[in-house]
Chain A
Amino acid sequence: MSGRVLHAQLHLLDRQLIDQSDGHLVGKVDDVELDLDADPPVVALLISGREQIPAGRIAEIDTAIKITVGDLDLDYYDNWIEHHVIDHIPGAGDATE
């Protein structure tokens, strides 16, 4: 993405985050943290819910932002509901017919 000007408010904030490995939707960019010591200041972290995503994990910025999820626990609440509610209903793991 060299040479492309990104506007933090327009291109980062509130944008959809996608797991690059499987295309799953993993949250929104709630906030952006800048590294003001750098010159010019650069984006250091994307914040989504309680997780902080280092800028190095950003793989692609388009109409959504693809990231390398790795060990980030972005699915915490989804997994909690999955284990406590959804998995108790028959057919939760089946693809629809």
Chain B
Amino acid sequence: MKKVLGVTLGILTAIGGFVDIGDLVTNALVGARFGMHMAWVVLVGVIGICLYAEMSGRVVAISGRPVFDLIRERLGPRTGLVALVASFLVTLLTLVAEVGGVALAFELASGVNYLLWMPLAALAVWLVIWRVKFSRLEQVFGLMGLLLIVFGVALFKLGPDWGQLLHQATRPHPIGHESWSTYAYYGIALFGAAMTPYEVFFFSSGGVEEKWTRRDLFTARTNVFVGFPLGGLLSLAIMGCAAVLFLPAGIQVGTLGQVTLPVAVALGKIGLAIVLIGVFAATFGAALETALSCGYTIAQYRGWQWGKFVRPREASRFHVVIIVCLLLAVLTLLTGVDPVKVTEYSVVFAAMALPLTYLPILIVANDPDYVGEHTNGRVLNAFGLVYLALLTIASAAAIPLMIITKAGQ
């Protein structure tokens, strides 16, 4: 039973990291504009995150050191600082989007404007971080997030032409009025959403919170290879729903309400209720993860005491960082900025920060000082290098494509 519950770290990371507000919005948006013609990016993203999350899980299980400890050690204080600033800002932006997502889910359920829900959502996130045990937090939000499987059920109920969806998925090119540059831009956004840096910060720090040792290698790997592919399947279901309902009608997705609409169409009110709870769990789980990750990255770079495994007063600087970040998120959202737009930008900026996050993991996973005999094999390193090249290309192309396509318009 303990093993089964142990897997919830992976499920939470997958639901709240793989399927967070970024994936909900980006997958639906891409499905509505490109059908399943971009499904392959999800597959590439899932393999990439599995590859690097496994490495960081292995490093943390054997050495006890989480990712940002190593980023500074292996890149040095200066380059490490650049990586810190980039990853921290992206994670903070993602936190803004997730808190907005929680509030939007409440708006959809209640009809009350999200701006009123938003301070409550941020307060609730803080209270859970302040009071609730790490393992409980994983279990509750991980399991509740599984309700998003309703997207899969909805897809079946919509009765799509499966042959046509498969036909689309095997032809990776833009369709209709779309150009190659918007196709590439959204490809990078989808890739960034799948491999968002906070996923590995949270996963590896979570390993320390759970006090993983080398005996937990199996748990770490199960988490990775169950959680992330499950998240990938959910992403494809979200994309599929949008491809079936919105693409033929020529409707573009710009709100969270549209993301959940296919479920309401397919399954009625009960479906809508389930999907809203699922969206709430996924965005709330991701808000917890990103808020914690803001604290993890800074504390681990500076060497401060961090974590929920000690009382808050023993990690006071870590908790102050989290409180300040949540306040910043509330202030940003109070300006009335559209959380869905924030989400769209956050995934592209995430893509830009990727190489600095993943390069040190690849280096350390090859260092016997940290992982003993469990260093990467040749095949793993070959894959790791291919992905590092992909991440670098995506990172370099993100801003030029954002300018050329006017952020995907």
Contact = CB atoms under 8 A, between A and B. Distances in A.
22 contacts: A14-B72, A14-B77, A15-B73, A16-B65, A24-B305, A24-B314, A25-B305, A25-B306, A26-B303, A26-B305, A27-B304, A28-B301, A30-B77, A63-B64, A64-B69, A78-B304, A81-B316, A81-B320, A85-B316, A94-B312, A97-B132, A97-B133
Contacts of B305: 24-26, 78
Contact of A14 (B76, B133, B370): B76
A15 B320 CA distance: 23
A92 B311 contact: yes
Interface residues of A, number: 32
Interface of B: 63-65, 69, 72-73, 76-77, 80, 130-134, 136, 299, 301-306, 308, 310-317, 319-320, 369-370
Given A63-B369, A96-B131, A16 B311 contact: no
A96 B311 CA distance: 7
* Chain B CB within 10 A, most for which of A14, A77, A89, A95: A14
A30 to B, nearest CB: 8
Contacts of B369: 10-11, 63
Interface string A55-97: 0000000011000000000000111011001110101111111
A48 interface: yes
Nearest to B137: A96
A28 B306 CA distance: 13
A96 B319 CA distance: 13
A28 B80 contact: no
Interface of A: 10-11, 13-17, 24-28, 30, 48, 63-64, 77-79, 81-82, 85-87, 89, 91-97
Contacts of B301: 28
A82 B69 contact: no
Contacts of A27: 302-304
Nearest to B73: A14
Contacts of A10: 369
A94 B311 contact: yes
